[in-house]
Structure 1
Amino acid sequence: MARLLLVSNRLPVTVKVDHGELHVSPSAGGLATGLKGPHQRSGGLWMGFPGDASRMDEAQRAELEARLAELQCVPIHLSPGEVSRYYEGFSNGVLWPLFHYLLDRVPLDARDWESYRRVNERFADLVAEHHREGDIVWVHDYQLALVPGMLRRRIPNARIGFFLHIPFPSSEIFRILPWRNQILDGLLGADLVGFHTLSYLRAFVASLMLVHGVEANVDRVWYEGREVRLGAFPMGIDAAAFAALADTPEVIEEARAIRKSAEGQHILLGIDRLDYTKGIPRRLLAIERLLEREPSLRGKVRLVQVTVPSRTKVEAYQDFRRQVDELVGRINGAFATVQSVPIHSLYRSFSERQLTALYKAADAMLVTPLRDGMNLVAKEFVAARTDEDGVLVLSELAGAASELGAALHVNPYDIGQVAMAMKRAITMPREERRWRMAALRGRVLAYDVHRWAQSFIDTLETQSEDTARRVTHTATPDELEKLTEEIRNERRLLVLLDYDGTLVEFEGLPENARPDEDLRALLRALAERPGTRVHVISGRTRPMLEGWLGDLPIGLSAEHGFWTRPGPQGTWTMRGHVPADWKSRFLPLLEQFVARTPGSLIEEKWASVTFHYRMADAAFGALQAKELRLHLGDLLKNAPVEVVPGDKVVEIRLLGAGSGALVPWLLRDAPQGTRVLALGDDLADEEMFAALASPHVAVHVGPGPSRAAYRLSGPAAARSLLREIARPG
């Protein structure tokens, strides 16, 4: 298998210095477990932050580097200031609450973007330094959202995957972020972008359209000349290991002791990291509501709430802990008896063995986050229940809810509903508990973390191979220099140029794309090159092209070649026949769509009519264009016309009005041995490219699929190439 380069904020190791002695041990987290096998089997590297090494002496740092190398890890050392600004300030202070829909937690004035960007640059530099041809790069999570795009610029042909371990928010939430476009640019540098659920994928697709103006086709999108695949890969746990641990004598005995200490009470269990996304205060209010509504349950229900310390030095988390402690105190004060208290709050870390014993002892597990990317605690509980008993109460706003349908789903914001789910869980008949748990275990055991990792890697490898076969190659500087030199040495040259999107950027109103003086001078210089003919082939109307470019010594073709003028002294000729009433069948339909699509317009020509929606709302315009094409397909089924989608346009044109038939017509009058250089950007230009065979050269300008052998990033790059060709000498 290909070598795997894993990139995450933290390395999968724990580093400690105890009495001057360095201790480095592998971590036991879900990500580390799932990727351990592929990492080691491929002879790969894992890159990330090992922890603060600023207080280590030189000998300890050298030993740390050596120990990490043995574990196939490459550290990136961050200063305390970088950790504070990039990690705590932007990653966890801005992206974390925003992606979890908690806007009140987003700071009023976020100032740490530059630090976030710089650290992402450092990660990209580190990956590029260690990358070898054929490697697979897998970048993880929101802290490194810019790395794929940065790495793509450094290594254009790299195979890059990205996985987001937290939710992707709705477009209305995401567009609040001032750096939203930069984040999307970064993610789209990957060949494969993975999410836990289809709902997160759909939210990402919506943001691509509404925020970035990029339209996806179900599970893939064309961006900067590449196909980016999008996929849902629900992350699992090492279910077999949890099940095996749950059946060890030590865990069985510890679970029995926990049950005995409960003295016949029903045990409800919550295990969470201290974080405001986990819904702990609302869960506490739900147990309070249950005891208020059901006096008979007082003294018979015990909530064991394990809260693992997190970000203990951050003031907001200190305040949150005080809020939780105050709620626990108030509820226990109201409902405690001489024999028991309803809430046992434990604020500390537990070992995996201790947690598994708690899972095994509980009557019901409460996983009620306000929003969660997946929540692996829910799956750990299920895996540990080898007795096929126990009930899972699960927030419908956790990613795991999309997989674990046999759980009791609740809205974590509905305290009354959560309270009633608690009651249902502890009163559920044994037969129902068993079939529900059997269904949950079937899913969790089959779709474990190893299957998740391999599924993503397999998809990335397939996507990279498919893309390499189908994607037009973006020309490197060396290749452009070689191509330019070849073209400059041609004695007879015919240059075919599209206009919009190739020589000029697109404009909302077609008439606003008037050529600037630099472009006019460039076309003139190109046409004055010895042995060179220049021909602009555009979808524009004949009067518009004549007014803009008619005085230049070049050929012009309007409406994609339906009207043609061979040179400045030539006359315009029509290459086809236009029926008198050919537009009457569909113009009323187009007018309806313009009326209901604000920002759209109709452009009428001799041989075509175009529906423009560049100034419309991006998502609504794209939806309307799709619907229009469906209607036109039915309406014009037997008509001598064709419907051609383009960049924010839908064009209806007479058959034979495309540029494909124009190429042989132009070559017919060209001197023997003339070589063609054709530049274009959309589907209409693909017809022109299809009519060209070697040694002629087709160059696609901008994103999107193309049959062209070369690709340039945009009009600026196209002008630069033409300027080099026109340069004297």
Structure 2
Amino acid sequence: MPIIIGSLFLPHTVKFEVTGQSPSNNEPQKPKALEAAPQHTIANSILPSLSQPALTQSPANTPPPFLKNGKLSAAVQQFFQKRDSENLDRKPDRPAAQLIQPKSRYDSKMIPSLVVEAKKKADDVGLSGLKYNSSGSSLPRSSSILPTARSNSSPQPDFAPAGLPRARSSFGKFGGYSINQSSTSSLAVTEEEDNAPSVFTPAFREPVIDDEEDDDEYGDKHLAPYGGFSRPDLEENFLAQQNVFENAPWQIVPTEGGNGSLYKAVETAQKKGVIQPCKWVGTLSSPSDAIPQHTYRDICSKLKDEFDCETVHVNDIVFQGHYKSFCKQILWPTLHYQIPDDPKSKVFEEHSFKHYKRLNQLFADKIVETYKSLNLGLDPADPENMIWVHDYHLLLVPAMIREQLPDAKIGFFLHVSFPSSEVFRCLAQRESLLKGVLGADCVTFQTDEYVRHFLQTSNRLLLADTNEYGIIHNGVFTRVNTLPVGIDAPALQEELKTPAVIKWEKLIRERWKDQLLIVSRDKLDKLRGIKQKLLAYEEFLKSNPQFIEKTVLVEIFMGSSSNSDYKAEVMQIVSRINALADNISIAQPVVILEQDIDFEQYLALQHEAATFIVASFREGLNLTCHEFVEASSEKKSPLILSEFTGSSHLMDCKGQGALLINPWDIRNFSKAIHHALTMAQEEKEKRWENCHHIVLQHKPIEWIKECVKSIEEAWKTDHLKTQTNKKPFNQEIFDKFYESSNGHRLFVINIDTSYSQDEVGPKSTKGFATLGRIANLLTGLTSDPNNYVFIISILKTEDLESIFKNVPNLGLVAESGGFIRLVGQSKWISIIDKKEVGNWIPQVTLLVKSKAERLPMSTAIVEECTVRWLADLAVKEDPKRSMDAMGDCIQHINEVYEKSDGIHATLVDNSVVVQQKDISMRAMNFIVACYTTTIPASQLAERYQVRRVASFHENYNTIVRSPLAERFDWIENDSERPNRAQALFYSGGLTSIDEAIYEYTNGLEKDDILHSSISVAITGGQANARSSALYSVLGRNELLSIITSK
């Protein structure tokens, strides 16, 4: 069975071949094969200034390459103009056929951003899709400036003939199409390209959505006012009468943009035989409402049969609400520390989340359908039997799949950054999103920082227990790890050797002979730090005027910007920098390209660059810097990298790799530019070698292998545990254990259980036995001389003695392992290190007490080696506030003290318990060693650093180290030691501590250390909980009724 990969966009999509003529009524033609695109020439290049490198400045009104004889081509021809195959000699009355996609009738441009300031609408010049750029005139015109090339829009040129018609009717009938502006994409796309279609689609096909869904609930009839419908455009009348997609030939083509790093990595891994052919599940990356149903079915069939792609059917408004609204305006900014703060955003967010949830459910259903059709009863343990979900668009999908496929292997990879808990908690849907991700067996991030943030957020918001391996939530373990994506360095090196790249390298050298090139490539938005980069460059030039005529910053803007105000600010800075040059015909410090260039040109620029700058405020993992390292293999040029990108954690190389900068620190940023341009060759080579080594370490194929391996191992780890409701503990099982054990038996019962946030509530509602009743029930079990019975609790020594004072021959473990009273003994011993406890307990005490003061009806209790925050009454009064406060406390303690002091905070019965995280396991090891081995008592005392507790009524500081002869009553004569037990019974809850003890208990029988061992988890009725315990019961009452029947 192939691996099923869930990604928002499929690696292949559809495009229709349409000419400028009106659609005919002829029968649909068989789709034609793609014709090979002609090679780039200098004449039609986006870098036309290189065509005449020796010429001086041309007049300001020199027409651009798409003008011929000073006149514009016909409107339709200009509209269908395609950069990669432009023919300047084509006749205007015979427009060439172009590959197009339909557009959505719901205009995403009408949805203002929630992050940035209010925008002014661009001036409409009367041409569909063309907007006048008010900031375009801020740059001096020169032939040395690389002309702007736009996708789907162009500025109105100032040098156009005065009689140029501005009426919409010239292009009106083509306004519903998007022209194929293809450019060779990078080998690695760091985060998905924003190529989702938008604006308009005629409703020729009913939306693909279940009939029973309520229109108002999912917004099929309308979007929320904040985001709303676009106004009907003038093109609608034309397209409503003539559906150009009814008869147009169509072709399956690679998806432009999308998650390119994933597509290429999977493709390479399949070719190399690392994994079997994969099955993709995703959307077409194209609006579908305009496509006739029969055509749409044919497209989906072809994708399924020939490209292993299963199409998720989503109507345009659900997709628009999911992608353009919730993903791009809520999730994306928040994940990148840009919290939406528009006053209308709450209504907008709640409405768009319904679309987000709906699309995720459609994805989950399609994945489950595909899984079942492929599985056909195969063993779930098959290594290739796997589901792999990708990125923030599908955060809810893992849990939705888990509901339908409880035993499936599910992995999730987040390609973007994950913020701190302080930021993520601002999302109204924070808990739903976290629980959705935790439906996976393995969750993988790009960096350790994102893993730490995810663990802390889950710990704080869900009160989930965390450790170095992952998260336990509702009794289910999810592994969390780091595996950064990489690029195919050998393939990139081969690309650098192609004639096209070499030609462009030569032209670039001829154009900028004695100048140092600084290259950058960004989307034009605030997250990329473009403004800060330009300000730092301006500061550098002002501080080092000798570089004004010696350096050129080539800034490439990918895609189009919806933020005209920010663009105007950027262009104003560009104009100011260019004004520093005395003669712009000789020196132009900044060159702007407002469209992504061809990959050959991009590689050539990187190859010739003196440095490459990435100044993003936040970015998951910027792979363009990896490409730059390989492209600069000859010059060994240094890399300037923002410390807030995921790649900075890799490329720092302990200060000997990339030059890390803080984009907000303009002065030091400018110094880094100076350092890069004046760096000695020896230092360049050293830094480059370190970065090159990192690039080679992170290969796409290895990334695929490690991700698949992680999912497999996580699934095995969790499924060695079985669902607790499938293995109930009963009287027959206990009787068999009791009777088969020859000799003595050791019982260890943890009377405290831990519950997740979902199960939190007043204890009285759980129907558990009181501790006093437990004492009475245990009398029968302890009366058997062959039984050694221990009770473990978080309570302190005095409390346990008071509760169980009438139970003979009962061993007690107080504070979850800090203090132990052996069976038949009257004195307590301790195995904790007084000095270690003294290091952390005063500080944690102050913290917990301050938290308790802010939560009414809660109390902080400080014991010898444990700090507890009791909040049962507060939870009953105000559950939400109590959970938030306790989650904040748990996260704070684990973040600050866990690594340095080895302590851990967790939730136990509506209380926060803080203690050394290995104390319970140490106590268990000690008890088992005492009662099941023949290790001399003196060795045990030394191994576990046993100390006598002087008095319960004295301070902990009175605990003193006693002579060995005083440690145990039976220490002087091992013949008086209790008889060795051959069987062990352990019962506890579903905490990570209990899970470790379950595994330890089960291993004693497997390793033939004991004749028999049995472990029982008290689940409290948690659904779908998994445990390493062999059996489970719902509560303590049920457990005690079984084990005390003897």
Q: TM-score, normalised by structure 2?
A: 0.55
What do residues 496-550 of structure 1 show as CA deviations (whole Å, max 9, x unaligned)?
9976538999999xxx9553496689x99xx9xxxxxxx997847999999999x
Give the whole-Å Cα distance in 2 for the aligned partners of 1:631 and 1:466. Answer: 21
Compared CA separation, residues 507 and 638, structure 1 to 2 (3 A)? farther
- The answer to whether structure 1 residue 136 and structure 2 residue 368 are counterparts is no
| Paired residues of 1:497 and 1:680 also in contact (CA < 8 A) | no
CA deviation vs aligned residue, 1:265-287 (integer Å, no higher than 9, x gap): 22111111233211111112222
Out of 25, 29, 35, the position equivalent to 2:266 is 35
The equivalent residue for 2:696 is: 445
Q: Quick check: 409-418 or 381-390, which moved more?
A: 381-390
Mapped pair 1:350 → 2:601: no
Letter paired with 1:701: T
Quick check: 278-287 or 380-389, which moved more? 380-389
Deviation at 1:345, TM superposition (A): 0.8
Residues 329 and 104 of structure 1, relative CA distance in 2, 3 Å threshold? farther
1:458-537 superposed matches below 5 A: 458-469=709-720, 472-475=721-724, 479=726, 500-501=752-753, 515-516=764-765
Matched, 1:698 2:932: no
When residues 489 and 430 of structure 1 are mapped into structure 2, their CA distance, relative to the original with a 3 A threshold, is closer
Alignment of 1:90-101 (within 5 A): 90-101=326-337
Given candidates 656, 662, 669, the residue that maps to 1:411 is 662
Matched ranges for 1:422-441 at <5 A: 422-441=673-692
Asked whether the equivalents of residues 613 and 621 of structure 1 are also in contact (C-alpha less than 8 Å), the reply is no
- Partner in structure 2 of residue 395 of structure 1: 642
Matched, 1:579 2:579: no
Shift of 1:699: 4.0
- SS of 2:539's partner is helix
Q: CA deviation at 1:236?
A: 0.8
Deviation at 1:374, TM superposition (A): 0.9
What is the DSSP-based 3-state SS (H/G/I as helix, E as strand, rest coil) of the residue aligned with 2:490?
helix
Tell me how far apart the structure 1 counterparts of residues 754 and 423 of structure 2 sit (CA, whole Å).
35
Query: Structure 2 vs 1, CA of residues 621 and 403 (structure 1 numbering), >3 Å: closer, same or farther?
Result: closer
SS at match of 2:288: coil
Does the CA-based 8 Å contact 1:97-1:106 persist in structure 2?
no
2:417 aligns with 167
Contact 1:394 1:409 in 2 (8 A): yes
Alpha-carbon distance between aligned partners in 2 of 1:413 and 1:504, rounded to the nearest angstrom: 41
For 1:378, the equivalent position in structure 2 comes to: 625
Cα distance in 2 between the residues matched to 1:176 and 1:322: 31
Q: Output the amino acid matched with 2:605.
A: L
Q: Which of 537, 541, 549 is the equivalent residue of 1:291?
A: 541
Letter in 2 for 1:578: S
1:93-118 C-alpha deviation (Å, 9 max, x unpaired): 12211221223677743332232222
Equivalence for 1:3:
2
Shift, 1:320, TM fit: 3.3
Identity %: 26
Is the contact made by 2:459 and 2:465 (CA closer than 8 Å) also made in structure 1? Answer: yes
Aligned counterpart, 1:44: 278
Give the direction of change, closer, same or farther, for the CA distance of 1:407–1:586 in structure 2 (3 Å limit): closer
- Matches of 1:389 and 1:441 in 2, distance apart? 10
Distance 2:7 2:918 in 1: 48
**d(CA) in 2 for partners of 1:504 and 1:273?**
42
Aligned with residue 22 of structure 1, among 250, 263, 284: 250
Aligned partners of 1:536 and 1:557 also within 8 Å = no
Which of residues 560, 563, 571 is equivalent to 1:325? 571
**Alpha-carbon deviation of 1:33?**
0.5
Deviations 1:105-136 (A, max 9, x none): 77743332232222222222222222233411
Where in structure 1 are there 5+ consecutive unaligned residues? 528-534, 550-554, 564-573, 642-653, 657-663, 669-675
Cα distance change, pair 619–635 in 1 and its aligned pair in 2 (3 A): farther
Cα distance between partner residues in 2 of 1:517 and 1:435:
64
Q: Please tell me the residue identity of whatever aligns with 1:370.
A: F
The equivalent position to 1:216 in structure 2, one of 451, 457, 466, is 466
Q: Does 1:612 align with 2:868?
A: yes
Q: Secondary structure at the match of 1:515?
A: helix
Within a 5 Å distance, the mapping from 1:665-684 to structure 2 comes to: 680-681=989-990
Distance (whole Å) between structure 2 residues aligned to residue 300 and residue 681 of structure 1: 67
Residue 454 of structure 1 corresponds to 705
Of stretches 368-377 and 387-396 in structure 1, the one that deviates more from structure 2 is 387-396
Structure holding more helix per residue: 1
1:192 maps to 2:442: yes
Shift of 1:304: 1.0
- Distance in 2 (alpha carbons) for counterparts of 1:391 and 1:677: 60
2:583 maps to 1:337: yes
Among 276, 279, 289, the residue aligned to 1:54: 289
- The SS at the match of 2:640 is strand
Partners in 1 of 2:523 and 2:589 — Cα distance?
21
C-alpha distance in structure 2 between counterparts of 1:504 and 1:255, whole Å: 60
Query: 1:362·1:390 contact (CA, 8 Å) conserved in 2?
Result: yes
Give the secondary structure class of the aligned counterpart of 2:651.
Answer: coil
Distance 1:99 1:8 in 2: 18
Is the counterpart of residue 182 in structure 1 residue 428 in structure 2?
no
What is the alpha-carbon distance in structure 2 between the residues aligned to residue 595 and residue 489 of structure 1?
46
Contact 1:4 1:39 in 2 (8 A): no
1:117 aligns with 2:357: yes
Deviates most, 217-226 or 591-600: 591-600
Q: Does 1:66 align with 2:301?
A: yes
Alignment partner for residue 517 of structure 2, among 244, 267, 271? 267
Give the SS at the match of 1:178: coil
Query: Residues 589-608 of structure 1: matches in 2 within 5 Å?
Result: 592=842, 595-599=845-849, 601-602=860-861
Which residue in 1 is equivalent to 2:114?
A: none
Matched, 1:75 2:396: no
How far residue 488 of structure 1 moved from its aligned partner, in angstroms, is 14
Cα pair 2:841 2:865 within 8 Å, conserved: no
Alpha-carbon offset, residue 387 of structure 1:
1.8
**Residues 679 and 168 (structure 1), Cα distance of their counterparts in 2 relative to 1, 3 Å cut:** closer
CA distance 1:700–1:424, shift in 2 (3 Å):
same
Aligned residue type for 2:300: E
| 1:156-186: CA deviation from partner (whole Å, max 9, x where unpaired) | 2221221111111122222222322222222
Distance 1:591 1:48, change over 3 A: closer
Question: What one-letter code is carried by the residue in structure 2 that aligns with 1:427?
Answer: T
The 10-residue stretch of structure 1 (347-356 or 330-339) with the greater mean CA deviation from structure 2: 330-339
Residues 247 and 386, structure 1, Cα contact 8 Å, conserved in 2: no
> Which amino acid in structure 2 is aligned with residue 53 of structure 1?
S
Equivalents in 2 of 1:583, 1:433: separation in Å?
56
Cα displacement (A) at 1:90: 1.6
Whether the aligned pair in 2 keeps the contact of 1:537 and 1:558 (CA below 8 Å) is no
Structure 2: any 5+ residue segments left out of the alignment? 19-247, 740-746, 777-788, 815-821, 850-858, 872-885, 904-914, 923-941, 950-966, 970-978
d(CA) in 1 for partners of 2:538, 2:333: 27
> Alpha carbons of 1:261 and 1:635: their partners in 2 closer, same or farther (altered >3 Å)?
same
Q: 2:395 aligns with which of 115, 120, 145?
A: 145
Looking at structure 2, the residues matched to 626 and 50 of structure 1 have their Cα atoms a distance apart, in angstroms, of: 50
Supply the RMSD in Å over aligned alpha carbons: 5.1
Structure 1 CA distance for aligned equivalents of residues 611 and 341 of structure 2: 31
Q: Which moved more, 1:497-506 or 1:157-166?
A: 497-506
Give yes or no for contact 2:523–2:558 (8 Å, CA) kept in 1.
yes
User: 1:462 deviation in Å?
Assistant: 2.7
CA positional deviation for 1:234: 1.8
**1:531 paired residue number:** none
Q: Return the offset for 1:229.
A: 2.2
Paired residue for 2:557, among 307, 326, 339? 307
| Matching residue of 1:12 | 11
Q: How far apart, in 2, do the equivalents of 1:144 and 1:158 lie?
A: 17
